[in-house]
Amino acid sequence: MSLKGHRGDLRGWIGQHLDPLEGHDPAMPAGEVRSDFDLSKGYSSTQVDGPLTPAAVLIALVERAHGLSVLLTRRADTLRRHTGQIALPGGRRDPGETPWQTALREAHEEIGLEPHFVSVAGLSTPYRTGTGYLITPVVGFVRPGFTLRPNPDEVADIFETPFGFLMDPANLEEHERELPSGEKRRFYAYTHEDRFIWGATAGMLRALYDRLYGAAVA
Q: Give me the domain span that covers residue 136.
A: 7-20+47-163
> Which CATH number does the domain housing residue 155 bear?
3.90.79.10
- Inside any domain, residue 204: no
Instruction: List, for residues 156-199, the tens digit of each pLDDT value.
Output: 999 999 999 999 999 999 998 876 677 778 899 999 999 999 99
Summary mean pLDDT of the chain: 88
Residue 92 lies in a domain: yes
- Whether the pLDDT of residue 26 is over 90: the answer is no
Q: How far apart are CA 3 and CA 209, in angstroms?
A: 12
Q: What predicted TM-score, i.e. pTM, was given to this entire model? A: 0.89
Q: Looking at beta carbons, which pairs linking 80-89 to residues 24 or more positions away fall under 8 Å?
A: 81/131, 82/199, 84/156, 85/198, 85/199, 85/201, 86/195, 86/196, 86/197, 86/198, 86/201, 87/57, 87/201, 88/57, 88/58, 88/59, 88/60, 88/137, 88/201, 88/204, 89/57, 89/58, 89/60, 89/113
Cβ-count burial of 206 within 10 angstroms (0-12 exposed, 13-18 middle, 19+ buried)?
A: buried
d(CA 194, CA 101): 32
Determine what percent of the chain is predicted with pLDDT higher than 70.
83
Using CA atoms, how far apart are residues 20 and 17, in angstroms rounded to an integer? 9
Q: Check residue 217 and give its pLDDT.
A: 46
Q: What separation in angstroms does the CA of 115 have from each of 60, 112, 178, 206?
A: 11, 9, 40, 25
The torsion defined by the Cα of 68, 26, 115 and 75, in degrees rounded to 10, comes to -70
Is residue 203, in this structure, part of any structural domain at all? no
Q: Which of 91, 95, 202 is nearest to 155 (CA)?
A: 91
Listed ranges 19-28, 31-40, 139-148; the one with the highest mean pLDDT: 139-148
Which has the minimum average pLDDT: 36-40, 63-67, 162-166, 207-211? 36-40
* Contact between 113 and 71 (Cβ < 8 Å): yes
Any domain includes 140: yes
Q: Report if residue 133 sits inside a domain.
A: yes
Q: What would the mean pLDDT of 10-17 be, rounded to a whole number?
A: 94
- Per residue in 93-136, pLDDT (tens digit) is 999 999 999 999 999 999 999 999 999 999 999 999 988 999 99
Q: Is residue 181 part of a domain?
A: no
Contact criterion met (CB below 8 Å) for 158 and 150: yes
Domain membership of residue 67 (yes or no) is yes
Number of domains in the chain: 1
Question: What is residue 72's three-state secondary structure?
Answer: strand
